[in-house]
Amino acid sequence: MLILGIETSCDETSLALLEDKGGKFTLQKNLIFSQTITHAKYGGVVPEVAARAHMEKIAMMLEEALYSPIKSGNDKKKRLRPDVIAVTAGPGLATALLVGVETARTLAYLWKKPVVAVNHLAGHIYANWLPVSHPEIVSRNLKIRAFVRDDIKFPALCLIISGGHTELVIMKKHLKYKLIGQTRDDAVGECFDKVGKILKLPYPGGPEVAKHAAKGNPAAIKFPRPMIDSHDFDFSFSGLKTAVLYHFKKIPKSSQKNQKIIADICASFQQACIDVIITKTIAAAKKHKVKTILLGGGVAANSELQKQLKAAIANNLQKTKYTALPIEYCGDNAAMIAAAGYFHARKKQFIPWKKLNADPNWDLT
């Protein structure tokens, strides 16, 4: 089964080809065009600008994705024809989602191929099933052959952390999700970005905060750990962001660009976030007796979080499996959408192309 994945939920245009042979995946293509530079001058993602950029890129990327690097007998490149189309239908920016959805509808009609609507958050979860066998994972021509991910056992706890979401989800089997915790205000990735703005760091703020944090002292400033002692698995990051703002305002303007001060603020803020996330994750894993902990979303690329989470699991949950998600699969990409699409296709969970629509507020559960 050859699956075409399409992802346009925010500011990355991505197309992927994922092949399944007897439960083993081969990632043939995973093309990603990032709009970071485009949105930098606005200080954030502008939905209309994102949609226009998707429209400008998706046709050319589709052409590149569908042509095999292996030449046929007449010395012409072979055009691949997927068996299934998997597209992100939500959640996300409405105008951005529509570009991918309309592309999928058109291809499904022209090719007479089945289409699967994939929830973007499910994609982040199923990134954990993608093949990992080569450091150059995102490549235009490299085929990546997979081992079978039979090390992922259910029930699994999925920690989804991104710019728009912070959720803890229980999976008892494929495609069955139960939300047990979520943010009550800002997502952790959104909080990182806003702290970056407060500190006047370049766009996007989140990765800049993490970069400066690596040079700072995480114990320099005692920021609050919101809801760390609550008896549920919900999160709150708005108050932490405000605490950073008030702390920064107290610093004399002449010192607000001091790199040591900035690094200490970033490191202390980041550690506060990590402490809350790990505490909630470990508690949820213990209560629900999970066999595997999975990580997904853009913030999952934070190396300090991955390192501390791995250590916490090793110390507290010796029988629980955890494998760090490669950075290439943390951000938005179509390979993860194709992977989720495979499990839907295996259950024949297709949708008629005429009924395929974007749902910007589509809940995972």
Task: Establish whether domains 2-151+328-355 and 156-322 are of one fold.
Answer: yes
Question: What pLDDT was estimated at residue 71?
Answer: 53
Percent of the chain having pLDDT more than 90? 88
pLDDT band, very low/low/confident/very high, at 150 (cuts 50, 70, 90): low
Nearest Cα neighbor of 130 from 295, 298, 309, 285 is 295
Question: What pLDDT was estimated at residue 267?
Answer: 99
Q: Do 241 and 186 contact (CB within 8 A), yes or no?
A: yes
Binding site feature residues: 120, 124, 160-164, 193, 206, 302, 332
Question: Rounded mean pLDDT of 72-85?
Answer: 77
Entry field: residues in the chain: 365
Question: What pLDDT was estimated at residue 72?
Answer: 53
Q: What is the spatial distance between Cα 270 and Cα 195, in angstroms, rounded to a whole number?
A: 10
Binding site feature residues for substrate: 160-164, 193, 206, 302
What is the fold of 156-322? Nucleotidyltransferase; domain 5 (3.30.420)
Count other C-beta atoms under 10 Å from residue 229's C-beta.
Answer: 8
Per-residue pLDDT at 70 exceeds 60: no
Q: Do 127 and 325 contact (CB within 8 A), yes or no?
A: yes
Q: What is the spatial distance between Cα 96 and Cα 54, in angstroms, rounded to a whole number?
A: 7
Among 20-29, 32-41, 145-154, 229-238, whose mean pLDDT is lowest?
Answer: 145-154
Domain residues of the chain, as ranges? 2-151+328-355, 156-322
Helices (H) and strands (E) in the chain, counts: 10, 13
Per-residue pLDDT at 204 exceeds 90: yes
Question: Rounded mean pLDDT of 234-253?
Answer: 98
Question: What pLDDT was estimated at residue 282?
Answer: 99
How do residues 265-307 score in pLDDT, each as one tens digit? 999 999 999 999 999 999 999 999 999 999 999 999 999 999 9
Q: Please give the mean pLDDT across all residues of the chain.
A: 93
pLDDT band, very low/low/confident/very high, at 67 (cuts 50, 70, 90): confident
pLDDT band, very low/low/confident/very high, at 323 (cuts 50, 70, 90): confident
Q: What is the spatial distance between Cα 96 and Cα 91, in angstroms, rounded to a whole number?
A: 10
Among 117-126, 138-147, 209-218, 309-318, whose mean pLDDT is lowest?
Answer: 138-147
Alpha-carbon distance values, 76 to 31, 67, 81, 95, 262 (Å): 22, 10, 15, 37, 55
Domain 2-151+328-355 in CATH 3.30.420.40: yes
Among 63-67, 99-103, 211-215, whose mean pLDDT is lowest?
Answer: 63-67
Binding site feature residues for Fe cation: 120, 124, 332
Per-residue pLDDT at 144 exceeds 60: no
